[in-house]
Amino acid sequence: ICDSLFDGLGLDIVRLKNNYGKSDGSLSESALLDFDLSTYTAAKDRNIGIKILLNSWTPPAALKDNHKLAGGNNATLIQKKGIFIYDKFTDYLVNSFSAYATLGIDVDYVSIQNEPDYDASWESCSFEPREATVSDKLIAGYSAALDRAYPQLSSLAKIVGPEVTGVGYDKVQNY
**Per-residue pLDDT reduced to its tens digit, 66-83:** 999 999 999 999 999 999
Report the pLDDT value the prediction gives residue 24, as an integer from 0 to 100.
Answer: 66
Q: Band of the pLDDT at 145, cuts 50, 70, 90?
A: very high
**Per-residue pLDDT reduced to its tens digit, 7-64:** 788 888 999 999 999 876 666 788 888 888 998 998 888 888 999 999 999 999 999 9
Report the pLDDT value the prediction gives residue 101, as an integer from 0 to 100.
Answer: 92
Q: What is the rounded average pLDDT of the residues 149-165?
A: 95
Report the pLDDT value the prediction gives residue 35, as an integer from 0 to 100.
Answer: 85
**Per-residue pLDDT reduced to its tens digit, 79-115:** 999 999 999 999 999 999 999 999 999 999 999 999 9
Q: Give the DSSP letter string of 46-58.
A: H-TT-EEEEE-S-
Handedness of CA 41, 43, 45, 48 (dihedral sign): negative
pLDDT higher than 90, residue 6:
no
pLDDT higher than 90, residue 2:
no
Report the pLDDT value the prediction gives residue 4, as an integer from 0 to 100.
Answer: 86
pLDDT higher than 80, residue 147:
yes
Report the pLDDT value the prediction gives residue 17, as an integer from 0 to 100.
Answer: 92
Q: Do residues 123 and 57 touch, judged by C-beta distance below 8 A?
A: yes
Q: CA 116 to CA 119: how far, in whole Å? A: 8
Length of the chain: 175
Report the pLDDT value the prediction gives residue 85, as an integer from 0 to 100.
Answer: 98
Q: What is the DSSP letter of 170?
A: G
Q: Do residues 166 and 106 touch, judged by C-beta distance below 8 A?
A: no
174 by Cβ neighbours in 10 Å (0-12 / 13-18 / 19+) ranks as: middle
Residue (of 163, 139, 164, 160) closest to 64 by Cα position: 139
Strands 83-84 and 79-80: antiparallel
Handedness of CA 103, 107, 111, 114 (dihedral sign): negative
Q: Is there a cis peptide before residue 162, judged by omega within 30 degrees of 0?
A: yes
3-7, 93-97, 163-167, 169-173: least confidently modelled range = 3-7
Handedness of CA 78, 83, 84, 86 (dihedral sign): negative
Dihedral in degrees, nearest 10, Cα atoms 85, 90, 92, 98? -160
